[in-house]
A = this chain, B = another copy of it.
Amino acid sequence: MADALAQLKERLTRITDLERVSRVLNWDQQTMMPPAGWQHRSDHMATLRRISHELLIAEETGRLLDELRSVEDSLDPDSDDAALIRVARRDHEKASHVPTELRAEMTRAAAEARTIWVKARSESDFEQLRPALERNYELRNEYVALFPDVDERYDILLDDYEPETTTAEVTETFAEVKAELLPLIAELRDIEVDDSFMRGTFPPEAQERLAKEVVTLFGFRPDTWRLDPTEHPFASGAGVDDIRITTHYDPETMKSFISMMHEYGHGLYGHQLPRNLERLPIGGPCSLGIHESQSRMWENLVGRSQPFWQFFYPRAQEAFPDQLRGVELDRFLTGINRVKPSLIRVKADEVTYGMHVILRFELEQDLINGRVAVRDLPTVWNERMHEYLGIDVPNDAQGVLQDTHWASGHIGYFSTYLLGTVMSVQIWEKILEDIPDLEEQIERGEFKALRDWLGEHIHSLGRKYTPQETLRRATGSTIDPKPYLAYLRNKYAAGVAA
């Protein structure tokens, strides 16, 4: 039996290594690869996926899992080995529905479509992307059809990003959020806030220096982390000692600063995953929702907060003297927290952000259930942006082409941004209970206690538990939007951020 476990671990180590290698290739594709290399990259990504999928669905994997059933029952369910067998069985069973050819083609087509998306977005030309996007959706439809016995077809896709979470559960959470956000947006959208200082001249070199300063303060270390420029920021890496975050320096705004703190949150999660389980599936991140709870926490609860800027604002003023010299801290905070419906999700304020996500979550379901066709996406997108946020979309680059996800084959992913945002406030409140002087620490530029808390209560659990069980262990409760909504109402009680 011990032998079966060792054999299973050996197989899972290979699968995990291949997945980590793919992450490095994906990082490379978005930061370093010569553009014409996309064809090689698509082929190579598909081959890696083909091999790892075959290893996962192999009869031998199933046989080992069967043999280990009694071992699993005899172990403490919280032990690493029990969790490993449990998670591996779930991965094996889901993957076993899927032929290797389809899995490899999904990967290849997505890598290809991603390349086309870069050009289509830069030229704001949806038609360029349309055939590749139709192909991605066609393949997802084939994929979903392999699981006939589900309540909701979309559950299959959602579960790839947020395991053991159903469309119905997310819909219920989002309904509660939406019911509060829409009136809150209506209330706040016309309040005049002077944020003119946020547009102007922000030299990229100064932005880069400041970005490095803040992530170093948070806990970025050059022997284990990298920070690179890219078009569409993301976090990646090969393991706990190889963390790579990216950002985009727009010379006319300092918004990259906020998105960089977001990516730091992802990076820290990767950096504090359980080192001893690193090459096994349970050593990875729990879910994208939990991942986003980390990135959104550093972005919003640290990065848009009074205590952080109390400490850091003088440094920002020094970096951008022409822009910020005459701007008091209070005006700065009110400005960076201005609520105003806008076109781009990643640049949205905390209040309107949720509606960007809900729009995509609903639209993905319409697409996968055939209620909306890919060719009609720009029209439907623009209609809903008008309906939810009351704004007109001038072109597809700032509309349906803004995000890489659908082109990159990440269909079912978007809701995790809002799930993570909701959970981030639940987690934050628990941290404030456990570290009562956290805000004072942040005012002094100290982040170690925060990092350690996150490491102990969330990161070190890896993927041993479901997202909701992970959240329950960290906070005592499963997902609940009330703290998040109360936080927003409280923050904007005076009409502007206090």
Chain A residues within 8 Å of B, Cβ to Cβ: 13-14, 17-18, 20-21, 24-25, 28, 32-37, 39-41, 43-44, 47-48, 50-51, 222-226, 238-239, 241-244, 278-279
Contact = CB atoms under 8 A, between A and B. Distances in A.
**How many monomers of this protein are in the complex?**
2
Contact of A36 (B13, B28, B32, B224): B224
15 contacts: A13-B47, A14-B51, A17-B48, A18-B47, A18-B48, A20-B44, A21-B25, A21-B47, A24-B24, A28-B28, A32-B32, A34-B223, A39-B241, A40-B238, A43-B279
Contacts of A48: 17-18, 21
Contacts of A24: 24-25, 28, 44
Contact of A40 (B37, B222, B241): B241
A238 B51 contact: no
A242 B43 contact: no
A153 B41 CA distance: 39
A482 to B, nearest CB: 40
A241 B21 contact: no
Closest 8 CB pairs of A and B: A37-B242, A40-B239, A36-B241, A17-B47, A36-B224, A40-B238, A36-B223, A35-B223
A222 B34 contact: yes
Nearest to A228: B32
A119 to B, nearest CB: 12
Nearest to A239: B40
A388 to B, nearest CB: 39
A34 B279 contact: no
B17 A224 contact: no
A380 to B, nearest CB: 35
Given A13-B47, A17-B43, A50-B14, A226 B34 contact: yes
A267 to B, nearest CB: 11
A336 to B, nearest CB: 31
